Amino acid sequence: MGRQEAVEYQPLIRDLPAQERPRERLKKYGATSLSNAELLAIILRTGAASESVLNLSAKLLARFGGLNGLAKAGFGELCSERGLGEAKAAQLKAALELGRRILTTQPEDRVMVKSPEDVANLLQAEMAFLEQEELRLVLLNTKNQVLATPHIYKGSVNTSLIRVSELFREAVRENCPALIVVHNHPSGDPTPSPEDIKITEQIVKAGKLLDIEVLDHIIICHQRYVSLKERGLGFE
């Protein structure tokens, strides 16, 4: 017999301790305590036979660029994803549309960012396991409520490749007064590099010229994150 390749084990929801299952955690701690991937897992309930629904949810968020990308994806595009059929795609589209309608009628209920931990909770499930570096923005209104989390760049985050003026395009379009820069380190080590510090300095300076406050630059990894603002790196 030929050698079989090792397959990474992905625990199913039922294999998790009861207190760690998304539905039980929601009941005990409330929906705000769950990541985007965990909330999606509750909506989808079961994934493909060979993978965890949590893993499927994380893959969908990475594939479509977060909740905004999922909301914009077409019904047929979702149905073509492994682990989704028409029923689950319909559930997903319906849930996202309900969320959109709530935001348009009750903007005061938008997610509020008060700390680097809030940003990590918002984006860690989507960005922690990406194979390449991605840079995203968290666009905020005057109450520090999240307006959007657009993808800006994919690849090595360094000053030779990123045009700072392009980074602010979405912020100017949304007329937001403040933003937070977020990117991931696929290595698993969130320690800021000299390039990370340098690009932060440039972004902060550009923000002052445009009258857009750069509140922080956060580096995300699996279960860890670093706030450059807290460490005094790149901020005066």
Q: Token digits for 74? A: 């077409």
Architecture of domain 116-231: 3-Layer(aba) Sandwich (3.40)
Q: Is the pLDDT of residue 168 over 80?
A: yes
pLDDT tens readout for residues 89-129: 898 888 888 877 766 555 556 788 999 999 998 888 788 87
Sketch the domain layout of the chain as residue ranges.
Answer: 13-108, 116-231
196 with 157: CB under 8 angstroms? yes
Backbone angles phi, psi at 35, to 5 degrees: -75, 170
pLDDT for residue 20:
62
Q: Is the pLDDT of residue 226 over 50?
A: yes
Beta bridge partners of 184: 220
Helix axes of 36-44 and 86-105: crossing angle, nearest 10 degrees = 130
How much is the pTM?
Answer: 0.58
pLDDT for residue 4:
43
- The CATH class of the 13-108 domain is mainly alpha
- The structure tokens 């969908």 sit at 60
Of all helices (H) and strands (E), which one includes residue 178? strand 178-184
Q: Token digits for 39? A: 């909330």
Of all helices (H) and strands (E), which one includes residue 203? helix 194-210
pLDDT tens readout for residues 13-30: 555 555 567 778 788 788
Pairing of the two strands 151-154 and 224-227: unpaired
pLDDT for residue 152:
85
- The structure tokens 């922690």 sit at 128
Q: Where are the alpha helices (DSSP H) in 4-106?
A: 22-29, 36-44, 53-64, 66-72, 75-79, 86-105
123 with 163: CB under 8 angstroms? no
Beta bridge partners of 151: 136
Q: What contacts 11, CB < 8 A, 6 or more positions away?
A: 52
Q: How far is CA 223 from the centre of its chain?
A: 13
Backbone angles phi, psi at 161, to 5 degrees: -110, -30
Cα–Cα distance measured from residue 230 to residue 39, given in angstroms and rounded to the nearest whole number: 29
